[in-house]
Each structure stands twice: as C-alpha cells, then as structure tokens.
Amino acid sequence: MQIEKQREEKSRGVESFFAQKKDQAVKALRLHAEDSTPQEAARLSVEELPVPQPAADELLIRVSYSGLGGGDFRRVETASRLARAGLPTVTMGHEFSGIVAGYGSGLNEDFRAQFGVGTPITAEEILWCGACGPCRSAQTNYCENLRVLGFSSDGAHAEYVTVPAKNCWSLQPLVDQLGLDSALRFGSLSGAYGLAYRALFTDERGGAHGWLPGDRILILGAGPVGLAVLDLARAAGAAEVQVLEVDPARRHTARELGAALALAPEDADTLGGKYDRVIDATGAPELIAQLLDGKKVAAGAAISMLAHTGLSAAYQTEALISSGARLVGVQGQAGGVLERVVRMLATGCLQPEKLIRETITLETALQRLLQQKKCEGKILVQHGNA
C-alpha cells in the first residue's frame, strides 16, 4: 500500500509538473537543416522552445551538464552536406547527465521504479529500435534504424531532453560516493567512457577484443575519448599505455593521466616494441598502415577504430595475415556498458576531472561553435538546473 501511495504521489507530481511547465519556454541550441554556411547565426542559434513532451516510452529529463566536443564541431562543419542528405533540424548535444522530471504514458512499472522523478541519469547516444535484425541479435550498437542523440534526434544542449527509458542509466551509485554535483559532472562524460570501455573490453559477440591485463597499448589521439581509453586501460591493469597526439596540451594531459609516452605523430617511427592493442580515437588510418608496415603490431593484436571521419588508407594485407591482427570497428555505448562505467567511476579508480577543461553556458557554447573555437579537452555546458 505504501509503495502504491508513493507512486500515486509521484504521478500527481508529474501531472502538476506538466501543468506548471506547459507554457514555459526552455532554451535549446538548435542546428537548422539548411544548405548554407555554418557560420550564419540564423543557422545555429539558442532558441526558446516549449518543454518537450515525452513519447510513450520516453523519460523527460532536466539536463544538468551536456558535453561539447569534437563530434559537435564536426556536426556543424558538415551540416550542409548532412542537410542535403536529409538530416532534420535538431537540438544538438549527444552526451549528458540530468534529473528525471517525468515520463511517457507507456512506461511499465519496472521502468517507473528504476527512474522515479528525481533520479539522476545519463543515457546512450545511439537510440536503437529493438526490432531490427542486429537489435534482435544483441548488436544494438549497429541497429539498422538507429537515431543518434543531437544528430538525427533532438539532443541535450538544452534545458530538457526526452530519451527512451531503455537508453537511460542511473547515476545513483556515483551520487552515493561523490555527491550530486560531481556525479552529474562526471556522469556527463559517460559517452566518452562508454565508447572507450567498448573499445577495450567488449564486443557484440560476448568477447573482449582479446583484452588482457599486462597488455601494451597505443592510443591514436588524446581527445576526450582517447583520454578515457587511457584512463580505463590504466585502471584495468595495462602494462604500458603510449599516445600519439598532434596537440602539445593534450599530450601533457595524457602524461598526467599516466601515459608512459606521449609523442607527436611525426615521431611515430621512433616507437619501440610491439603493441597488443591499438585504439584509433582520432581517425588516422595512415598511422595504422605505418604501424602494420613497421611490424609494430603484436601477434593476435586488435586494432580498434572509433572515429567517424570517412578517411581511408591502403593496408598491406600480408602484415595483417602474418600477425593475425584484427581491424575492428566500434561505435556506441549500448549493452549495459554505461552501468559498468558508472560503477567504475564510483570506485574512484578513474580520473574524470582530468578530461574536463572548462564549464560554460549554453550561450558561450553557441559562440564557440559559430567561431569553430575548439578546445583541447572536454567542455561541459552547464544548464540552469545544475
């Protein structure tokens, strides 16, 4: 009876929330699907919109922090091409943390119990359908009907976002250890850590890409995802992690996070020994070709590619065959990965604060995107609710 009463109270709370917010305007960073130059202010703007209404299977989430990173800048750079390809006008923002503020009418009791109003959460950026062949074969990251938050579906550079409940994960274990604000700050990095976790430890067929503690690892690119790979690999017992990165400030951060060596890519030919794992977090296929040609990939190594850049390079197939190395593509954070990332963050074995360069407002985020003023680390956009 007690539980039913609590649910009734929560339900009344949600109704009164919508009654209160019905006419309230909330801010969102919108990218319009128009074939014009990215710098035109009319194309990219902070707008006031009504509070979004959750669909039957969705949660309404009050956003606390959203992550601004390389993916956002690339999205703006390629906006004209993507608009011509049919992508819609969207609210940007693919990774975030926030507080559940309401839910759709179709959510069952299990979901309502997991995500009561007030629950701190983060979410997967790939919104998978659950019905196509890959989804039904437990390969949801490669859904044939996928939508991507902030890319093809309204995202989280906004005061409110709606996301299917099946894509959301509670940050409560992190809140219990670090308090609410730190949990929300670090929870907004779940996109980078989730992708890094999948690159290192899991694949769709239940394998682990051959991960073994004691491995030697080379990371290409020390942006937020590359740094998250470094942080996770160190915490999970890698013997040595080395980094190739163009930007000196990022190389410095990589050393702070425990990289044994952080070099500019032009110094790649000075690297010694062989690597059990190569993780390309920046999109540098020519460097992978160079490593294969230089026989710097250990027998049975996995070479994981995470960056959607459209670049290509020619490989010597003989180098792959004679080493038994595998080229592996990795995208998304679905499959229970975010739950494990949250648990790892809660143990204190990771250093997420080193990935964050600064915290800015939504209006400043707009200016950065208009000026294409990138940052050497992750920028958090703090919303009025945080």
Residues near Zn ion, by CB under 5 A: 128-129, 132, 135, 143, 145
Report whether 345 contacts 35 (CB < 8 A).
Answer: no
| Shortest separation between residue 143's beta carbon and Zn ion, angstroms | 3
- Measured from the CB atom, the residue of 165 and 302 that comes closer to Zn ion is 165
Minimum distance from CB of 132 to Zn ion (Å)? 3
Nearer to Zn ion (CB atom), residue 87 or residue 132: 132
Between 324 and 336, whose beta carbon lies closer to Zn ion?
A: 336
Nearer to Zn ion, 135 or 178 (CB): 135
Please tell me what DSSP assigns to residue 377.
S
d(CA 259, CA 35): 43
Compute CA distances 194 → 75, 120, 220, 351, whole Å.
Answer: 20, 17, 18, 15
Closer of 143 and 168 to Zn ion (Cβ): 143
- The answer to whether residues 380 and 65 touch, using CB atoms and an 8 Å cutoff, is yes
Angle at alpha carbon of residue 106, lines to 105 and 108, rounded to 5°: 115
Q: Which is nearer to Zn ion, 58 or 231 (CB)?
A: 58
DSSP class of residue 242 equals E
Long-range contacts of 77-83 (CB under 8 A, 24+ apart): 77/38, 77/372, 79/31, 79/33, 79/38, 79/43, 79/44, 80/34, 80/35, 80/36, 80/37, 80/38, 82/33, 83/33, 83/34, 83/35
Q: How far is the CB of 89 from Zn ion (least distance, A)?
A: 24
Instruction: Tell the smallest beta-carbon distance from residue 147 to Zn ion (Å).
Output: 10
Q: Shortest Cβ distance from residue 136 to Zn ion (Å)?
A: 8
Kindly state the smallest distance separating residue 165's Cβ from Zn ion, in Å.
16
Helix segments in the chain, DSSP class H: 2-21, 70-77, 79-84, 109-114, 133-136, 172-178, 180-187, 190-201, 224-235, 248-256, 285-293, 317-323, 337-347, 362-371
- Min separation Cβ 140 and Zn ion, Å: 7
Beta-carbon count within 10 A of 295 CB: 11
Complex with Zn ion: residue 139 or 170, whichever CB lies closer: 139
Smaller CB separation from Zn ion, 129 or 260: 129
State the Cα–Cα distance between residues 295 and 289, nearest whole angstrom.
10
Least distance from Zn ion to the Cβ atom of residue 131, Å: 6
